[in-house]
Structure formats: structure tokens, C-alpha cells
Amino acid sequence: MSQRPYNFAAGPAVLPEDVLRQVAAEMLDWHGSGMSVMEMSHRGKEFISIADTAQRDLRELLRVPDNFRTLFMQGGGLGENAFVPLNLSRGGKVDVVLTGSWSRKSAGEARRYADVHVAADAADSGRIPEHWDLRPDAAYVHVCTNETIDGLEFHELPVVPNDVPLVIDCSSHVLSRPIDWSRVGLAFAGAQKNLGPAGLTLVFVRDDLLGHALDICPAAFNYETVAKADSMFNTPPTFAIYVAGLVFQWLKRFEYQGLKGLAAIEQRNIDKAKLLYGAIDASSLYVNRVHPSCRSRMNVPFFLKDERLNDGFLAEAKAAGLLQLKGHKSVGGMRASIYNAMSMEGVQALVAFLKDFEARHG
């Protein structure tokens, strides 16, 4: 068993220890090439084999249909907040559903390029709104399917009427569960939660949405240009792609309760979340304010009912080997991010600490 502390950071976040060990072992000489992956030309056969394998494994894990392209890009979620409307809005209408910090940021950025309409707003309700006021002639509808800061997750993707494409920002829960591609036009995800190092962004885009970028879209971020060059129009973030590829391989061989691959990791994520929310709900010191129907399996924000205990909680947690539990500065409190690479033992250790701390201070 690992002697490393448990790292609950919201991203950049914990990675599988097996992956880190392999990265270290291959650092000076990848597969007899005499080069570190960092030193390889992105157009050489060695790196192309790395990128091709990563893309194939990713598509296999998520069962990406043939009519979707997979792009390896740069710029993160905040970059995509601009690139999506630059590529898809055609300068027309964009509908956004607000469920937290990230969807609000997306809406704000899209206003530079399109007529943005808030179709629904969760405000501080802690739940995803039921009624959406959608426009039939919108270029797309944007949702953030897992709000990293607020801890809301879509457990089912919406069906958007009138064939309006759905754009999902799935940065903080990508590869934690399947995606129903029949309901999606475009999905994007920064890598630094479930995939690998910061600096890599994945985009999955349906073929028919390519080719409509505004003239002011930078060439390096024009999805059609990137797709035609197989993500090699710009020098891609090669090392991050390599690490993500190792994470994909780790996921493919992951086993849990007789399951394998994405089904196995999803089941473990369900079980981890159930354990942690159960402990919070059973306590009289901790509270999570998200409605149970849309609680995130990945990001669990919680508050101590006596906030004067916050600093002591964090100090004791760190001493117990439980790192980076402080909540986002915009909401305060605590947050435990329990991404794919967080083990069941890590969540059990957190739950044991929650109970112990409450017994002593509650």
C-alpha cells in the first residue's frame, strides 16, 4: 500500500501512483529511443505513436462515435469558453444554463462573440433548474455538467429540443462515467482533474459543427484547422498528452468488484461518493448544501457548522496526511475532490478523520 498522503486537491489533482512511477522510469529514455518524451519532435514516429495510442484508448474508454473528432488542445476551460463561441456561435444566439461558477464564466466569455441568453439559473438553490427557457434558433446550448466549485453534477444529460447542439464543459468529471453522445454536440475538458497535467485540453466535436468558425478565431484554436492537422497544427503539449495516455491505459486495466475500465471506475466513484456524503449527512458538525439529486461524485464541498474550527480542521487534516481540503476562496469552507485517482482507502481515511475530529470538537 502507498505511503503517500491523500491529496484532495480540486485540480491539478492526484494522479495514479503507477502512472507517476512509469513516467519517472521512462524519463531519460522512452522505450529505447534514447530520448525523454519531452525531447521528441511532435512529428517524429515515436511521439506520433504515443499520441495515436492515447487517442485510440480515450475513444475506446468513452465509446466516442465515429462522427466525433478528438482534439488535443491548449488553453484550458477558460480558453474554451472563448473558443467554443468563436467556432460554433456563428455570431448568433447562445443559450446558457447557470449552475455555478464555471457556467457563469462561460456565459460571460461567450458575450464577446454572441447574443447570450440565460435559459435557467440555479442561483443559490443548490439544484439544477427544471424549467429551461430555450430558444429554438440558438446556435448551441451550454451547460457545465460538473461544477467543480459548487459541487453540482448532471447525472443525466438533457435532451435539447429542435436539434440545437448541446455543449458540455465536463472538465472535472470526464472519464469518471460514460457520456451519452447522442445528446451532445461538443464536449470539452481541461486535463488537470481526471486526465493528467495542466496545460492539455480535450475537445470532442461532432463533424457537422466544424467549418463555421468566425474570421476572428485564431487559427491555432479553429477546431476545423486543428482537426485537419490531427492536433498537430500547433506544437501540442506533448508531455501532457503522454501522461494522459498513461492514465488512459491505467483506466483500461482498472478493475473493481468484477468490473473493468470505465464501468469499474464509475462504480468506485459511486461508492466513494456514497461513503463521504453519508458521513457528512450523518454528522452534526458538517453540512453539504447541494440537493441529493445533483450532488457531484467528484467534488464534495462541505462546511463546518462552527466556522471558527476551520483552521484547526485543516491543520489536523494535514497532520493526518489528508492534503488540500480547503474550499475554493469564493465559497469558503472545505472541499474534498475525489477524482478517479483517489482510492477508496483515501476516502475511508477522510471519513475516519471527519468522525474523529467531530468527536473531539463537535
Active-site residue (options: 193, 250, 272, 326)? 193
Q: Is 130 in the site for a copy of itself (CB under 8 A)?
A: no
C-alpha cell, 150: 459548487
- Indicate left, alpha or beta for 148 from its phi (over 0: left) and psi (-120 to 50: alpha): alpha
Of 4 and 253, CB closest to a copy of itself: 4
Q: Find cell 459541487 and name the residue.
A: 151
Q: Is 91 in the site for a copy of itself (CB under 8 A)?
A: no
The residues facing 7 across adjacent strands are: 323
* 169 annotated binding-site participant: yes
Of 129 and 321, CB closest to a copy of itself: 321
Of 16 and 126, CB closest to a copy of itself: 16
The residues facing 70 across adjacent strands are: 204
Site map (CB under 8 A) of a copy of itself, residues 44-83, x = contact = x--x--------------------------xxxxxx-xxx
* 340 annotated binding-site participant: no
Q: Is 340 in the site for a copy of itself (CB under 8 A)?
A: no
Active-site residue (options: 102, 150, 250, 326)? 102
Which H or E run includes 19? helix 17-25
> What type of residue sits at position 55?
Q
Q: Is 92 in the site for a copy of itself (CB under 8 A)?
A: no
Catalytic status, residue 102: yes
Question: Least CB distance from residue 135 to a copy of itself, whole Å?
Answer: 23
3-class DSSP state of 45: helix
Q: Which of 53, 91, 86, 90 shows the shortest CA–CA distance to 70?
A: 53
Q: Which of 145, 249, 197, 183 shows the shortest CA–CA distance to 15?
A: 197
Q: Is 235 in the site for a copy of itself (CB under 8 A)?
A: yes
Question: Least CB distance from residue 35 to a copy of itself, whole Å?
Answer: 6
Q: CA-to-CA distance for 204 and 326, rounded, in angstroms?
A: 32
Judge contact between 142 and 116, C-beta under 8 A.
Answer: no
C-alpha cell, 265: 471506475
List 100, 237, 245, 346, residue binding a copy of itself (CB under 8 A): 237
Give the interface segment with a copy of itself, choosing from 124-132, 173-181, 235-243, 347-355 (CB under 8 A): 235-243
Those residues with Cβ within 8 angstroms of residue 235's Cβ, 6 or more apart along the chain or in another chain:
42
Query: Exposure of 348 by Cβ count < 10 A (0-12 exposed, 13-18 middle, 19+ buried)?
Result: middle
Site map (CB under 8 A) of a copy of itself, residues 254-293, x = contact = ----------------------------------------
Judge contact between 94 and 119, C-beta under 8 A.
Answer: no
Of 68 and 242, CB closest to a copy of itself: 242
Q: Is 14 in the site for a copy of itself (CB under 8 A)?
A: yes
Four-CA torsion 343, 347, 352, 354, nearest 10 degrees: 150
Based on its alpha-carbon atoms, the radius of gyration of the chain, rounded to whole angstroms, reads: 21
Of 21 and 31, CB closest to a copy of itself: 21
Q: CA-to-CA distance for 225 and 220, rounded, in angstroms?
A: 7
Burial profile 107-143: b = 16 or more Cβ within 10 angstroms, e = fewer: bebbeebbebeebbebeeebebeeebebbeebbbbbb
Catalytic status, residue 193: yes
Of 35 and 259, CB closest to a copy of itself: 35
Binding residues: 43, 102, 148, 169, 192, 234-235
Residues that are catalytic: 102, 169, 193
Binding residues for L-glutamate: 43
Binding site for a copy of itself (CB under 8 A): 4-5, 7, 9-15, 17, 20-21, 23-25, 27-29, 34-36, 38-42, 44, 47, 74-79, 81-83, 86, 109, 112-113, 190, 192, 196-200, 215-216, 218-221, 233-240, 243, 321, 323-324
